[in-house]
Amino acid sequence: MTSSLECDVLVVGGGAGALTGALTAATLGLDVILAEKTEYLGGTAAYAGAGLWLPLNSVSAAAFADTREKVDAYIAATTDGTGFADLREAYLDAAPEMVDFLLQDPSVEFHWRAFPDYYPDAPGYMPSGRAIFPKPLPDWAIGNDLVRLIRPELPLIRGGHDTGNKLRGGRALLGRLIQACVRAGVRIELEAPLRELDTRPGEVVGACLGGRDGDMNVRVRTGVLLAAGGFDHDIDMRKREGHPVEAGWQMGAPGSTGEVLAEARRIGADADLLHEAWWTPAFDTPLGPSFRVHQRGHPGSIVVDQDGRRFCNESLPYDRIGRAFRTGVLNGTLTLPAWFIVDQPTSTATVSTVNRRVLRCLRSGSPVVSPTAETPSTSSLPHSAFPPRIWGRR
């Protein structure tokens, strides 16, 4: 059975970006429907630490002094500098305004804590970091009905956390935004995937959504906001866009399958930077890829290819390590899996209890290691070994 709905703004997606868009529209007095294709709100944000790199905002300004010139220099030094200057300027103009706008809602709270910028050699580097974080949120503060809407944590072995009865990181951000949206009157539809956008010459006038009880035709008076994540789990699309990621090595939320992007392109929307992602090495576990931020840079550990040669600086930021993997695969100089080699003192002294559990659960075996100047032979190196690969979130 098909039903009909009407609103001012339809938001497609249920992650942090979609919730922020829905809250903005509702705060401005518009009637908003938010449609999420899965049974939970919160895409990959639910798995994130939620450090929000939003320079020059009022929260971080209370902790340290910063300038637009320093921020511009840092961005110029850490990006390829090609095009999109207008978007970068718009981002820097709007980021502080967005933070202040969100802070007007009593549900939304941020705090600053020291978390250094990633590139210490870049001009404009801030040792204390520019990121702000959502404050942790006790479950009881928003109630079980809303907590149940939030995508669950990853298992510990895959990089999740035991947060007890508090929402932390990305789930705290989601909880705060969901509470704010509900208070603002946003109508939330779960398990409501976008089927098709309804267009007239030069405009989008509605959409057809799936629903638990049948399709829903939504008429919009103002517009449709597409904020539905990426295409982590569409391997064919990833290959077309230059993402050398095998099935099973995606770590984004399972709802990111690219249909909304494909529908937007079908009606003529522009798209760019689809070859980009948030790249990082991941460790193989029986429950899927495990995102570990710091372990690869521990003293007493190296990452080698299948010929036993190092091919990257293990202490680089995770995105740069992931890019080294991607570049090697695309140019044919690297075959996955690579191997992470840990000496015994490092394994016992600096690897946490959870990480030792990962070590025990991962595939074990002897990598092919050549005794070069950079890489000691396996005969002289007691080791635990397991394969890191890459995943990239789109």
> Residue 301 and residue 340: Cα distance in Å, rounded?
7
Closest by CA position to 285, among listed 255, 251, 312, 314: 251
Do residues 180 and 299 both lie within one domain? no
- Contact, 258 vs 231, CB < 8 A? yes
Q: Mean pLDDT highest for which of 263-272, 371-380, 384-393?
A: 263-272
With H, G, I as helix, E, B as strand and everything else as coil, classify residue 252. Answer: coil
Q: Is residue 43 part of a domain?
A: yes
Statement to judge: residues 107 and 170 lie in one domain: yes
How many other CB atoms sit within 10 Å of the CB of residue 122? 15
Whether 167 and 298 map to the same domain: the answer is no
Say yes or no to pLDDT of 352 above 80: no
Pair type for strands 216-226 and 203-209: antiparallel
Q: Can you tell me whether residue 314 is helix, strand or coil?
A: coil
The β-bridge partners of 167 are: 137
Residue 355 contacts residue 157 (beta carbons within 8 Å): no
Our separate counts of H helices and E strands in the chain read 12, 16
Which runs of consecutive H residues, i.e. helices, occur in 79-221? 85-103, 139-142, 144-147, 169-184
Judged against a pLDDT cut of 90, whether residue 320 lies above it is answered with no
The CATH number assigned to the domain holding 163 equals 3.50.50.60
Rounded Cα distance, 75 and 258, in Å: 29
Q: Say if 340 falls within a structural domain.
A: yes
For the record, the structure tokens of 52 come out as 């929000």
Domain count, the chain: 2
Beta bridge partners of 384: 342
**For position 385, what pLDDT does the model report?**
43
pLDDT bin (cut points 50, 70, 90) of residue 265 is very high
- Higher per-residue confidence, 162 vs 361: 162
User: Stretch 193-210: mean pLDDT, rounded?
Assistant: 96
The answer to whether residue 246 is domain-embedded is no
pLDDT digits 0-9 by tens, 220-230: 999 999 999 88
Q: What is the DSSP string of 5-17?
A: EEEEEEEE--SHH
Same domain, 215 and 283: no
Q: 151 near 36, Cβ under 8 Å?
A: no
Question: Is 271 inside any structural domain?
Answer: no
Region 63-88: mean pLDDT is 87
- Per residue in 229-241, pLDDT (tens digit) is 889 899 999 989 9
pLDDT (0 to 100) of residue 338: 86
Q: Looking at the structure, tell me whether residues 10 and 103 fall in a common domain.
A: yes
* Judgement on whether residues 221 and 297 belong to the same structural domain of the protein: no
Predicted confidence (pLDDT) at residue 191 exceeds the cutoff of 90: yes
Residue 161 has pLDDT above 60, yes or no: yes
Containing structural domain, residue 337: 279-393
| Separation CA 11–CA 273 (nearest Å) | 23
At residue 210, the pLDDT reads: 96
Give percent above pLDDT 70 in the chain. Answer: 86
Q: Which of 186, 209, 226 is the last residue of a domain?
A: 226
349 located within any domain: yes
Distances 173 to 20, 252, 368 between C-alpha atoms, Å: 10, 17, 44
For the chain, percent of residues with pLDDT exceeding 90: 54
Same structural domain, 290 and 221: no
Does 379 have pLDDT greater than 70? no
SS3 172: helix
Looking at the fold, whether 180 and 52 belong to one and the same domain comes out as: yes
Angle at 272 between CA 270 and CA 278, to 5 degrees: 140
Residue 28 has pLDDT above 80, yes or no: yes
Q: What is the pLDDT of residue 82?
A: 64
Specify if 65 maps to a domain. yes
Q: Which of 186, 204, 226 is the last residue of a domain?
A: 226
Do both 143 and 36 map to the same domain? yes
Q: What's residue 293's pLDDT?
A: 64
Overall average pLDDT of the 339-355 stretch = 64
Residue where one domain finishes, among candidates 209, 226, 243 = 226
Taking CA atoms, 114 is separated from 51, 64, 127, 276, 356, in Å, by 11, 10, 8, 28, 27
Is the pLDDT score of 372 beyond 60?
A: no
290 and 172 part of one domain = no
Confidence (pLDDT) at 355: 54
**Does the residue 322 lie in any domain?**
yes
The better pLDDT of the pair 244, 267 is held by: 267
Q: Are residues 326 and 207 in the same domain?
A: no
CA distance 312 to 324: 7
Amino acid at 19: L
Question: Residue 269 falls within a domain, yes or no?
Answer: no
Q: Are residues 75 and 165 in the same domain?
A: yes
